[in-house]
Amino acid sequence: MLKFIISSLIVFTSLTCTSQIKTLEPKDDTIKKDSIKAFYNPKTYGLRIGADLTKPAISFIEDDYNGLEIVTDWRINTRLFAAGEIGYTKNTNNEDYFTHTARGTYLKVGINYNLYTNWLEMDNETFLGMRYGTSFFNNEINQYEIAQYGDYFDPKKTTGTKYTNLNSHWLEVVAGLKVETFKNLFLGFMISVSKLITTNHPNNFKNTYSPGMGEISKNGTGANFNYTISYRIPLYKK
């Protein structure tokens, strides 16, 4: 009798455990999807607009310079951005035998490609890009020197000879980064190397400076940089 009771308890215990295990096992139709969606980061789309901080700083320090630049971009997809800059520059340049002041506006348009892979809620950029640039400006001769008696140069003041309706066209390769410091607020840095396509020179000297491109070297190249602060107007996420 005792053996029968013990055997019955063993069988009952086995059946109970098996029933509990089956109860704990989820059915196929109740298995939840994994949590990979928690790591999916939808990107914010909208117009990002800001300003270059270096040009106002240089304008404050140097009397011969005045400049302002607005920067903007629009996200096309997670990697590609349409981007551009528009600005105004007045700069006095001292050449070997004359001094002149160039002033005018410029526009650059192009694309940025983001090389940085963001994770979780990050929205930063390390980018490469290209720009097409054009400027419209005036150039005024402030002073020139005339050679007399061999190597002696006599400085001559002019009455302000001005050349108007000048323009330049160039291509740029750019590289930079943008970091989201607060929600939709970005700090950025960008450098650019440009190559002059064409410019209409005045009659008696060559353009050595173009707003937007900066100083033009003898081989038609130039370089620039900027530090920017910008804000993205969030329109939608995708």
Tell me the per-residue pLDDT of 37-81, one tens digit each, with 9 for 90 and over: 445 568 889 999 999 999 999 999 998 999 999 999 999 998 999
* pLDDT recorded at residue 203: 78
pTM of structure = 0.78
* pLDDT recorded at residue 151: 58
**Residue 56 is assigned to a structural domain of this protein:** yes
Q: Partners of 113 in the beta sheet?
A: 80, 128
* pLDDT recorded at residue 179: 97
**Residue 50 is assigned to a structural domain of this protein:** yes
* pLDDT recorded at residue 158: 59
Q: Quick check: 121 and 41 in contact, CB under 8 A?
A: yes
* pLDDT recorded at residue 126: 97
* pLDDT recorded at residue 8: 46
**Residue 116 is assigned to a structural domain of this protein:** yes
**Residue 15 is assigned to a structural domain of this protein:** no
- For the purposes of burial, counting CB atoms within 10 Å of the CB of 78, is it exposed (0-12), middle (13-18) or buried (19 or more)? middle
User: Domain tally for the chain?
Assistant: 1
Closest to 230 measured CA to CA, from 198, 189, 185, 174: 185
Closest to 210 measured CA to CA, from 175, 163, 170: 170
* CATH number reported for the structural domain that contains residue 101 in this entry: 2.40.160.20
**Residue 3 is assigned to a structural domain of this protein:** no
**Residue 108 is assigned to a structural domain of this protein:** yes
**Residue 152 is assigned to a structural domain of this protein:** yes
Residues of the chain with pLDDT under 70: 1-41, 145-160
* pLDDT recorded at residue 167: 96
Residue 129 belongs to domain spanning: 44-237
**Residue 190 is assigned to a structural domain of this protein:** yes
* pLDDT recorded at residue 112: 98
First to last CA, the chain: 74
* pLDDT recorded at residue 96: 72
